[in-house]
Amino acid sequence: MQIRFDHKTVLVTGAAHGFGRAIAHRFARLGASVWAWDLNAEELQETRAQAEGRCEVRRVDVTDPQAVQEAAQEAGAVDILVNNAGGVLGQVGKPLETVTPKEWNDILAVNLSAAFYTSQAVAPGMKQRRWGRIINISSGAGLGPSLTGIQAYASAKAGLVNLTRQLCHELGPFNITVNCIAPGFVRSNPTTERQWQSYGEEGQRRLLENIALKRLGTAQNIADGVLFFASELADWVSGQVLSVDGGK
Instruction: Give tens-digit pLDDT for 79-122.
Output: 999 999 999 999 999 999 999 999 999 999 999 999 999 999 99
Question: How many other C-beta atoms are found inside a 10 Å radius of the C-beta of residue 67?
Answer: 16
Is 178 domain-assigned? Answer: yes
Indicate the SS3 state at residue 86.
coil
Q: Residue 93 is part of which domain span? A: 9-186+218-243
Provide the number of structural domains found in the chain: 1
Q: Is the pLDDT of residue 1 over 70?
A: no
**Cα R_g (the chain), whole angstroms:** 17
Question: How many other C-beta atoms are found inside a 10 Å radius of the C-beta of residue 20?
Answer: 30
Is 207 domain-assigned? Answer: no
Query: pLDDT class for 248, splitting at 50, 70, 90?
Result: confident
CA distance 106 to 129: 34
Is 148 domain-assigned? Answer: yes
Instruction: Name the residues annotated as catalytic.
Output: 153
- The CATH number for 131's domain is 3.40.50.720
Is 226 domain-assigned? Answer: yes
Report helix angle 18-29 to 41-50, nearest 10. 30
Is 1 domain-assigned? Answer: no
CA distance 222 to 141: 15
Indicate the SS3 state at residue 206.
helix
Contact status, residue 181 vs residue 225, Cβ threshold 8 Å: yes
Please write the tens of the pLDDT for every residue from 199-243. Answer: 999 999 999 999 999 999 999 999 999 999 999 999 999 999 999
Is 3 domain-assigned? Answer: no
Contact status, residue 156 vs residue 216, Cβ threshold 8 Å: no
Is 192 domain-assigned? Answer: no
Is 209 domain-assigned? Answer: no
Please write the tens of the pLDDT for every residue from 135-152. Answer: 999 999 999 999 899 999
Q: List beta partners, residue 179.
A: 135
CA distance 39 to 85: 10
